[in-house]
Chains A and B, each alone.
Chain A
Amino acid sequence: MKINGILIHESDHVVTLTLPVKAGESVTYIRKGRLTQVEAIEDIPQYHKVAVQDIGKGRKIRKYGDEIGEAVSHISAGGWVHVHNLQSSCMADTRQEREETI
């Protein structure tokens, strides 16, 4: 079992791949000192994220122990998490909007 994923914080919903995986291959990572696995349900490139649990639409997604945005659709465990299903929560585009958020 070669380790090919890294879980940065225990509360994270995603693991980052250190090597690319194909659909059906295992992602192996360490959680609390133990080897843990999730099966990739699609092809995922190197350094991209895979969900290690089901993530419901609208839910905040955690990486680094903090929120990195929200799921715009349901994401199943083993799914690729990227721009197609994860959206930033801080992209206010105008100066006013930004002042309001700050």
Chain B
Amino acid sequence: MRKVKGYRRPDGRFGIRNHVLILPCSLCASETARFAAQNVEGAVYVANQGGCSLSRRDLKVTLETLSGLAANPNVYGTILVGNGCEVVQASLLAEEIRRKTCKPLEVLVIREEGGSLHTVNHIVRSAEAMRKEADRLTLEEAPVSELILGTECGGSDPTSGLAANPVVGCCSDLVVREGGTVILSETPEMIGAERILAARCENEGVRRKLLDTIKNFEMDFLRVGENPRSGNPTPGNIAGGITTLEEKSLGCIHKAGRSMIREVVGYGELFTQKGLVVMDTPGQDVASIVGMAAAGAHAVVFTTGHGTPTGSGILPVIKLTANEETAVKMKDNMDFDCSAVLTSGKDLEEAGRELFDLVCRVACGEKTRAEELGFQDVSMARYCNFA
């Protein structure tokens, strides 16, 4: 049995990182929070571009996501920063966070503090104190069954569906076999593979929710006069060898491996089941990763053909490619090169075991490239932009 190393939180969950999070409630508090975060060693920050002028549906999603980020087990504690007049009131968000976790939480409001500079000073003092407390924790071991691993693909090319995603699929099967959790995300990539995914759902309730999730996604597009199926696969996909939509989607969903689907949740929502689970996320990589982080994912494996620098302040993003050229060209950004699957007939299962080993090492503290670079990409899903 493989072990991971991390920290047991007071709410019972286990984290593989020990972050102090500075979390702005809205875009209006974001710069103040960023300024403070830059002055505290070992603090992470979420560049929140939302949090105000929200439709009711988006308010619900935003609260779910932001509270989920604070509750993520990789986070030791959170300093919440509001401006004072935003829709996502600091008190409202604090209440949501406390519903999910009993971890350390401090709440500051810029207007009550008397402007940005006073607030920054207060955040820095509080964050440094929280950092000291966090550093006093000792590393513990936990089984892989506690691990929640997100999967993602972006900047895809023919090598993604052909090798990188199947390699992740083998790794996902190993995580599930050890009793852990794997999240399949990106609803647009499931269109065309509904029947295949539906056949893999554990029961009728899960099957119905999966099909409804995909259908609702498609309906949102149809409502604004777009059809996500038309022009898919794209001319570029077809030139690259992809013939049908099923084939394209299968290449993507292969990341999840071949386990039964145990649960389907909305964007950023917490899972109640272990094993293979599905989250409704947009195709945009960063928003998808943030949704999974809000659900408590410890790490994300991210396949890319062309290469992408994406990272997250909350969780390690492990990036892999099966494109030989990208592995060299984007060396700074790549954690795992599985191009040998295509160039020298390396066994998929073997590459999957190596990736699983890397996931376990990262879950024991080994830093990913994006962590070394300090990248903290943030984007949140939003349904209505002109509220």
Q: Do A and B bind each other?
A: yes
Chain A contacts to B: CB under 8 angstroms = 3, 6, 8, 16-18, 29-30, 33, 45-49, 63-69, 81-83, 86-91, 93, 95, 98-99, 102
Q: Kindly identify which residue among B215, B240, B258 contacts A47, using a CB–CB cutoff of 8 Å.
A: B240
Q: Which residues of A contact B158 (CB under 8 A)?
A: 46-47
Q: Which residues of B contact A69 (CB under 8 A)?
A: 243-244, 246-247
Q: Kindly identify which residue among A18, A49, A65 contacts B243, using a CB–CB cutoff of 8 Å.
A: A49
Chain B contacts to A: CB under 8 angstroms = 158-159, 162-163, 166, 192-196, 211, 214-215, 218, 222, 229-230, 238, 240-241, 243-247, 250-251, 254, 258, 341-345, 347-348
Most buried by A among B194, B238, B342: B342
Closest 9 CB pairs of A and B: A3-B345, A47-B241, A47-B158, A88-B244, A68-B247, A48-B241, A69-B244, A64-B250, A18-B342
CA distance A47 to B246 in the complex (A): 17
In angstroms, how far is the closest chain B Cβ from the Cβ of A95? 6
What is the count of residue pairs linking A and B with beta-carbon distances less than 8 angstroms?
89
Task: Report whether A30 and B246 are in contact in the complex, using a CB–CB cutoff of 8 Å.
Answer: no
Q: Which residues of B contact A67 (CB under 8 A)?
A: 196, 246
Task: Report whether A46 and B241 are in contact in the complex, using a CB–CB cutoff of 8 Å.
Answer: yes
CA distance A69 to B240 in the complex (A): 18
Q: Name the residue of chain B whose CB is nearest to the CB of A35.
A: B345
Q: Which residues of A contact B215 (CB under 8 A)?
A: 98-99, 102
18 A-B pairs in the complex with CB atoms less than 8 angstroms apart:
A6-B341, A8-B166, A16-B241, A17-B241, A18-B342, A47-B240, A48-B241, A64-B247, A64-B254, A67-B196, A68-B243, A69-B247, A83-B243, A88-B246, A90-B192, A90-B194, A98-B218, A102-B214
Task: Report whether A64 and B251 are in contact in the complex, using a CB–CB cutoff of 8 Å.
Answer: yes
Task: Report whether B244 and A3 are in contact in the complex, using a CB–CB cutoff of 8 Å.
Answer: no
CA distance A81 to B247 in the complex (A): 12
Q: Name the residue of chain A whose CB is nearest to the CB of B342.
A: A18
Given A46-B158, A66-B193, A88-B192, 6 extra CB contacts under 8 A:
A17-B241, A47-B240, A47-B241, A64-B254, A88-B244, A88-B246
Q: Which residues of B contact A29 (CB under 8 A)?
A: 345
Task: Report whether B342 and A6 are in contact in the complex, using a CB–CB cutoff of 8 Å.
Answer: yes
Most buried by B among A16, A90, A95: A90
In angstroms, how far is the closest chain B Cβ from the Cβ of A99? 8
Q: Which residues of A contact B240 (CB under 8 A)?
A: 47
Q: Kindly identify which residue among B162, B193, B343 contacts A16, using a CB–CB cutoff of 8 Å.
A: B162
Task: Report whether A89 and B246 are in contact in the complex, using a CB–CB cutoff of 8 Å.
Answer: yes
CA distance A21 to B373 in the complex (A): 41
Q: Which residues of B contact A98 (CB under 8 A)?
A: 215, 218
Task: Report whether B194 and A45 are in contact in the complex, using a CB–CB cutoff of 8 Å.
Answer: no
